[in-house]
Amino acid sequence: MSADSLSGEDKLIARFFGPIATDPGALGLTDDAAFIKPPAGCEMVLKTDAIVGGIHFFPEDPASAVAQKALRVNLSDLAAKGARPLGFLVSLALPEDIGDDWLSGFASGLREDAATYKCPLFGGDTVRSPGPIMVSVATFGSVPEGRMVRRSTAKPGDHVFVTGSIGDAVLGLGLRQGASWSLGDKHREHLLSRYLLPRPRNALAQAVLDYASASMDVSDGLAGDLAKLARVSKVAADIEVARVPLSDAASAVIAQDASRLAPALSGGDDYEILCTVPPANIDRFRVAAMAAKTAVTDIGVIAEGEGARFRNADGSALAFAHMSFSHF
Amino acid sequence: MSADSLSGEDKLIARFFGPIATDPGALGLTDDAAFIKPPAGCEMVLKTDAIVGGIHFFPEDPASAVAQKALRVNLSDLAAKGARPLGFLVSLALPEDIGDDWLSGFASGLREDAATYKCPLFGGDTVRSPGPIMVSVATFGSVPEGRMVRRSTAKPGDHVFVTGSIGDAVLGLGLRQGASWSLGDKHREHLLSRYLLPRPRNALAQAVLDYASASMDVSDGLAGDLAKLARVSKVAADIEVARVPLSDAASAVIAQDASRLAPALSGGDDYEILCTVPPANIDRFRVAAMAAKTAVTDIGVIAEGEGARFRNADGSALAFAHMSFSHF
């Protein structure tokens, strides 16, 4: 067959996605499937997460940002599990009015992140849909055999750490939805960019693997995600609200309206790492985090009991309307 | 936290999907990710395919059949690559009006197939969507290292085989769309069931691995898929139309309307295996197929040149309006 016999979908793959499939096992996306082997002594970590237009992003967001958000929400889970990215599959549902410009932007976003995170494309599927844009990514990473860092292994006495800052993304979403806080351009842009584009903490994965007792990523809100970790670990978590790291921009919002504090601590889309570190590992964890140029903050401790408790400076408990984001 | 603190999504996972996650590496879907290691000496084969309501299935199809179609279109690729299923991830977008009854049916279909095909669930994501139901599955299988059977390795002189029968599913779709062929109930039900539920040929995977020179699954239509195989293998394929296996039901339709032959040979959703077998392997391939209780039919040969040619008994070429199905 000549090149003309290529179907529209094959042409689309060859043009936009083939260049991102840089691993030999991806066969340049010219086959039905790809192959991969984890490094010697390692096993594979598997994760899938999807994002939908109008739910997880705004339809008018740049196509490159949509691609990067879809990949990064998955990379964030690999980081939290102490895994190194190996590659990903992407499944894309596109409305009829999505054309080459959008696809080109989408592919360029993916290509950039595949290179940045050393996570090449291994395959995908592109279908038309009468609904909104949906991007489902499945990622796979590697960890030394038996060492994936779990949620369920926190122990009383461990300290609770989070990376970066909490609450920016949900405040950024608030701005997108019309919140009228008085903020300088820099603060406004910070919050908006944190909603638009997660910054997964893959640089910290090795430190998590080496020093954390339990770990997960913060995607549905710190309060609810910590409650999940505490529940499956069969422990309690005592958090000092004042120690939860907030960006200057988030602090500026909360200074204007204290009622935004609880939503910031229970809103979604942070994509930070929440992990517990045994006391004996804390110094080395901090040194490794510094070497990885990733801010980590000690926000509380694990105790016997159950529940995630957020205490104000006066000892009272912070009340949450919702512990976390849930679709159901 | 007490059980009451489980979010709606966590409850949904625990109730419907946890029981399908039978591999220890899936951690009962209580963690952010899962882990897996391919068997010694093997590598992993990766594939993702999505189906969308109103495009790949009818919104009123039973939920269990939707689940099974989504999984089976992926299992079909593993079979064609000579791979044994290891597990899958599923990403599910659901409209607001989808409730527990539908989810219960969906999960029961998945559970049944996970057991039948020895392909347990390793993780998933469930999101609300303003669009139609979309199910994206990522499957992973295992093959001995370096031995995934490719599309690009057919050689002149190899014989072309297909499993089962061709064209049933697209004729079944025709019935769903109101075609008024005169058919007995049994023929009608056969065609409808072949559209509703693929029957991937995973039983033949070992024979493909052992004896085929090249292989792919027939998902977008025999004519177009064979053309793809020929193109990437840089060979021609000469097919005798009269040897393409048709079910009694498909033959009954074509006997009434000869113009349905070409669409049957180029329509989608067959989920049969198309493979090439060197002459020296043919006898052993046939014996292995018989042991696997899978019908295989020799429909032509690979030659020098390019293109997939379908010849009628009189030597003329069968003309196709479209070589295969494409969304783009």
Residue A6 scores a pLDDT above 80: no
Please state, in angstroms and rounded to a whole number, the distance separating the CA atoms of residues A150 and B28.
12
Q: Which residues of A touch B323 (CB under 8 A)?
A: 5, 7
Q: Where are the alpha helices (DSSP H) in chain B?
A: 8-12, 63-80, 100-116, 168-176, 185-196, 205-211, 222-233, 248-256, 261-266, 282-291
Output phi, psi for A218, to 5 deg.
Answer: -95, 100
Dihedral sign computed on CA atoms, order A191, A192, A198, A201: negative
Quick one: tokens of A187? 């603060």
Residue A316, judged by CB atoms within 10 A of its CB (0-12, 13-18, 19+), counts as exposed
| Amino acid, res. B314 | D
Given CB atoms, is A127 within the 8 Å cutoff of chain B?
yes
- A266: tokens are 């229970």
Q: Which residues of B touch A306 (CB under 8 A)?
A: 1-2
Q: Which residue of A has its CA nearest to B47?
A: A33
In whole angstroms, how large is the CA radius of gyration of chain B?
21
Give the pLDDT confidence score for residue B3 in this predicted structure.
33
Q: pLDDT digit string (tens) for A205-241?
A: 999 999 999 999 999 999 999 999 999 999 999 999 9
The Cα B86–Cα B299 span in angstroms is 32
User: What does DSSP say about strands B214-218 and A134-144: parallel, antiparallel, or unpaired?
Assistant: unpaired
One-letter amino acid at B255 equals A
Q: How confident is the model at residue A9 (pLDDT cuts 50, 70, 90)?
A: confident
Average pLDDT of the segment spanning A238-246? 98
Contact A143 B35 (CB under 8 A): yes
End-to-end CA distance of chain B: 49
Residue A308: name the closest of A216, A245, A229, A218 by CA: A229
- Tens digit of pLDDT for each residue in A11-39? 888 889 999 999 999 999 999 999 999 99
Three-state DSSP state, A254: helix
Distance of CA A119 to the CA centre of its chain: 15
Q: What is the pLDDT of residue A328?
A: 57
Backbone angles phi, psi at A307, to 5 degrees: 100, 155
Nearest to A83 by CA among A120, A46, A134: A46
In total, the C-beta contacts within 8 angstroms joining chain A to chain B are 261
Helix or strand run (H / E) with residue A173: helix A168-176
Q: Residue A325 pLDDT more than 90?
A: no
Contact B276, B302 (CB under 8 A): yes
CA angle in degrees (0–180, nearest 5) for A11-A15-A17: 105
Q: Quick one: which of A250, A209, A196 has its CA closest to A66?
A: A196
Task: Write the pLDDT tens digit of every residue in B40-78.
Answer: 999 999 999 999 999 999 999 999 999 999 999 999 999
Can you tell me the distance from the alpha carbon of B262 to that of A161, in angstroms, rounded to the nearest whole number? 64
Query: Is A55's CB within 8 Å of B129's CB?
Result: yes
The DSSP element (H or E) to which A268 belongs, if any, is none
Return phi, psi of residue A291, to 5°: -60, -30
3-state helix, strand, coil split of chain A in percent (to 5) is 40, 25, 35
| Full set of structural domains in chain B with CATH | 3-144 (3.30.1330.10), 159-311 (3.90.650.10)
Which residues are CB-neighbours of A63 under 8 A, at least 6 positions away?
A101, A102, A103, A104, A105, A106, A109
Judged by CB atoms closer than 8 Å, whether chains meet at B327 and A56 is answered as no
HSE-CB for B253 with a 13 A CA cutoff = 30
Nearest beta carbon to residue A328 from set B8, B43, B232: B8
Do A90 and B48 lie within an 8 Å CB cutoff? Answer: yes
**Nearest-CA distance from A305 to chain B in Å?**
9
Q: Check residue A314 and give its pLDDT.
A: 94
Q: Which amino acid is at B267?
A: G
Q: pLDDT at residue A246 above 50?
A: yes
Residue range A110-162, pLDDT digits in tens: 999 999 999 999 999 999 898 999 999 999 999 999 999 999 999 999 999 99
User: Strand order in B214-218's β-sheet?
Assistant: B214-218, B272-277, B159-163, B296-303, B236-240, B307-311
In the block, residue with structure tokens 């994206």: B136
Alpha carbon B266 to its chain's center: 15
Task: Flag if A306 and B2 touch (Cβ within 8 Å).
Answer: yes
The number of residues in chain A equals: 328
pLDDT over 70 (residue A327): no
Contact A286, A296 (CB under 8 A): yes
What's the whole-number average pLDDT of chain A? 94
Residue from B200, B212, B109 nearest B160 by CA: B212
| All residues at 6 or more sequence positions from A8 whose CB lies less than 8 Å from its CB, including other chains | B326, B327, B328
Residues of A in contact with B125 (CB under 8 A): 48-50, 136
What pLDDT is stored for residue A5 in this prediction?
44
Which stretch of DSSP H or E encloses residue A88? strand A84-94
Helix (H) or strand (E) holding B324: none
Pairing of strands A307-311, A272-277: unpaired
Q: pLDDT tens, position by position, for chain B (328 residues)?
A: 233 345 677 788 888 999 999 999 999 999 999 999 999 999 999 999 999 999 999 999 999 999 999 999 999 999 999 999 999 999 999 999 998 999 999 999 999 999 999 999 999 999 989 899 999 999 999 999 999 999 999 999 999 999 999 999 999 999 999 999 999 999 999 999 999 999 999 999 999 999 999 999 999 999 999 999 999 999 999 999 999 999 999 999 999 999 999 999 999 899 999 999 999 999 999 999 999 999 999 999 999 999 999 999 999 999 898 777 665 5
Report residue B164 CA to chain centroid gap: 12
Closest CA to A265 of A225, A215, A229: A225
Q: What is the pLDDT of residue B325?
A: 63
3-state SS, residue B124:
strand
In whole angstroms, give the CA distance from residue B15 to residue B23. Answer: 17
pLDDT of residue B321: 83
Instruction: Reduce the DSSP state of residue B300 to 3 states and report it.
Output: strand
Q: Is B282 in contact with B213 (CB distance < 8 Å)?
A: no
- A10 vs B contacts (CB less than 8 Å): 228, 326
pLDDT at A2: 30
Residues 29-68 of A with CB under 8 A from B: 30-38, 42-52, 54-56
Confidence of residue A4 (pLDDT cuts 50, 70, 90): very low
Would you say A35 and B46 are in contact if contact means Cβ atoms under 8 Å apart? yes
User: Is 0.90 exceeded by the ipTM?
Assistant: yes
Tokens encoding A95: 């409305």
Least Cα distance to B128 among B79, B103, B94 occurs for B94
What is d(CA B34, CA B23) in angstroms, rounded to the nearest whole number?
9
Per-residue pLDDT, B328: 58
Q: What is the rounded CA–CA span in Å between residue A283 and residue A277?
A: 10
Query: Which SS3 state, helix, strand or coil, does residue A91 take?
Result: strand
User: What pTM was estimated for this model as a whole?
Assistant: 0.94
